[in-house]
Structure 1
Amino acid sequence: MSSNHPVRVIAVTGGKGGVGKTNVSVNLSVALAEMRRRVVLMDADLGLANVDVLLGLNVQYSIADVLDGSRTLREVMVNGPAGIKVVPASSGVQQLVQLGSHEHAALIHAFSEISDQLDVLVVDTAAGISDMVVNFVRASQDVIVVVCDEPSSITDAYALMKLLNTEHGVNRFRVIANMTRSAKEGRLLFGKLNTVCERFLDATLSYLGHVPFDEQVRKAVQSRKPLLEAAPSSKAASALRDIAQKVDQWPLPHGPSGHLEFFIERLLKSANAQSVV
């Protein structure tokens, strides 16, 4: 079963916790949905599922129920703000490498069933540079790296990009500077990362923009709503909408690599490759 409908698959990652990656994933998804794109947000933090918590969603099932065949992906997905659909993570599924061929087939079939009903899949990865993070990022067509102005954020983002570039051939990264005090700070932050990558990696970095530090973000998290809904005219919300406009203008993937099933196949292939090593 295969679909010819191209789906943009974007992994949002950060190399470390605390950089606001899930907030970016959620609000980018909402901003794209506001632009009439059909968006599915997948919580790929399989150890510490938090998208549903951030959005105050009532979750009954998770991706684990799709894998064991007890639920379809449509049954597992929950409705989120602005019409986005959320695929909740399951703390029970720690490693894709533990899946047998039956579960592999179930996962590919599950995603091929919904591929005609979405335009964008946003994958919110876990923090850190675990095998699971690497697998999801490798399988995605586009990679957004979220950084903030802390030495450890730059160091960890670089470590992740180095691993993905030197060992897995990922050679294009988009960068968002989050929680900045000014546009200039965001540019400087990107410049630091870009300088070291140009020197040591065979990779291209492009700057997607900055999201200013905004007290409204914390309030939105507390109210368990996306920022774009809780404070739509805030500075950070406006910046996230600008970033979504840029994302929407990226060329759509063509050929088999643009089909949702191929994302899942690549994901499982890289997980299997790691289990063999």
Structure 2
Amino acid sequence: MPPREYPALNLTAANHSLAPVRSIAVTGGKGGVGKTNLSVNLAASLAGLGKRTLLLDADLGLANVDVLLGLSPQYTLADLVSGRCELDEVILEGPAGMLVVPAASGRRHMAELQPAQHVGLVNVFNDLQRELDILIVDTAAGITDSVLTFCQAAQDAIVVVCDEPASITDAYALIKVLSRERGVDRVQVVANMVRSPAEGRGLYDKLSRVCERFLGDVSLNFLGAVPHCDWLRMAVQRQQAVATAYPASPSARAIAEIARRAARWEAPAAPRGNIEFFVDRMIRQGAVA
């Protein structure tokens, strides 16, 4: 999908009243740290708080958000990229009223999209005529172009880490590349599958010390810790969000607290001057103001 060109903004159009959307990318330096579970349950928790939430599965080659939620999509991002449908036709309704944009799993051509096509996927959200408050983007792991582009296009990037040396090392590598190549200078950190809140804070402190030493211009913030929880494993087996299946479980309560913090983040007031999700809504808001 190549970058799309948009005509001059028509401020009298019906969609000029659509409010800006807060976009949050959830990522990790390596696979297996639980970023997709966090994305799914963060989106469900935000929807439960009354936020109009859209969850985008941006793990283009190995997508599994639809599997975790027991959804059966008619169309996916692969159909959108191939021109077989429009974005609105891809959207499904998930738990708690959240909306889901599923991707396809095992489609090699999706994992091999060109950088311009990643930009095109971001830009296509300008055409979406739905009232939304928050977009959650579940990216792939690592430092591929798709991960970097989707994190750059979001207002906030959440990096998920767990208690493995490779997780900390790869998270640092991801933050370094995001900072130096994409200008991302603020990162939220969630410690996942921890045995105690102290362990979660300790993981953040390890990562923070390394970043402070070698990446002085990057600001890290500890967003919270999610405990290792058998209820989460049971929810995965049931293909449900733990936030809705077992809301009183330790993992659901921890993610609900992270959602409450994220819900207080304000929507963007103006574009930053680079690639961004829903940038037209920010431009229209500024022009109307």
TM (norm. structure 1) is 0.87
TM-fit CA distance, 1:144: 0.3
After superposition, where does 1:200-215 map in structure 2 within 5 Å?
200-201=214-215, 202-215=217-230
Task: Report percent identity of matched pairs.
Answer: 52
Q: CA RMSD in A?
A: 2.2
Aligned to 1:93: 110
In structure 2, what residue type is equivalent to 1:68?
Answer: S
In structure 1, what residue type is equivalent to 2:160?
Answer: V
TM-fit CA distance, 1:235: 0.8
Question: Distance between the aligned counterparts of 1:157 and 1:216, measured in 2?
Answer: 26
In structure 2, what residue type is equivalent to 1:171?
Answer: D
Equivalent of residue 175 in structure 1, options 189, 197, 201 = 189
Give the conservation status (yes or no) of the 8 Å contact 1:5–1:115: no
In structure 2, what residue type is equivalent to 1:243?
Answer: I
Aligned to 1:231: 246
Q: Which runs of 4+ in 1 moved over 3 A?
A: 1-4, 256-261
Equivalent of residue 19 in structure 1, options 12, 20, 33 = 33
Question: Distance between the aligned counterparts of 1:217 and 1:13, measured in 2?
Answer: 19
Give the conservation status (yes or no) of the 8 Å contact 2:22–2:266: no
SS of aligned partner of 2:100: strand
Give the conservation status (yes or no) of the 8 Å contact 1:39–1:84: yes
Question: Distance between the aligned counterparts of 1:187 and 1:238, measured in 2?
Answer: 17
Aligned to 1:274: none
In structure 1, what residue type is equivalent to 2:159?
Answer: V
Question: Distance between the aligned counterparts of 1:119 and 1:194, measured in 2?
Answer: 30
Aligned to 1:243: 258
After superposition, where does 1:77-156 map in structure 2 within 5 Å?
77-90=91-104, 91=107, 92-97=109-114, 104=120, 108=123, 110-156=124-170
TM-fit CA distance, 1:127: 1.5
SS of aligned partner of 1:256: coil
5+ residue gaps, structure 1? 264-277
TM-fit CA distance, 1:250: 1.5
Aligned to 1:50: 64
Give the conservation status (yes or no) of the 8 Å contact 2:34–2:192: yes
Give the conservation status (yes or no) of the 8 Å contact 2:59–2:103: yes
Question: Distance between the aligned counterparts of 1:116 and 1:255, measured in 2?
Answer: 19
Between structures 1 and 2, the one with greater helix share:
1
Residue range with higher mean Cα deviation, 69-78 or 180-189: 69-78
Question: Distance between the aligned counterparts of 1:99 and 1:155, measured in 2?
Answer: 29
Aligned to 2:174: 160
Report the count of equivalent residues.
260
Give the conservation status (yes or no) of the 8 Å contact 1:44–1:126: yes
Question: Distance between the aligned counterparts of 2:279 and 2:83, measured in 1?
Answer: 20
Question: Distance between the aligned counterparts of 1:55 and 1:250, measured in 2?
Answer: 26
Question: Distance between the aligned counterparts of 2:51 and 2:243, measured in 1?
Answer: 16
5+ residue gaps, structure 2? 1-6, 10-15, 281-289
Give the conservation status (yes or no) of the 8 Å contact 2:122–2:277: no
TM (norm. structure 2) is 0.84
- Give a deviation string over 1:231-266, Cα, whole Å, max 9, x none: 110011001000001001123210235974339xxx
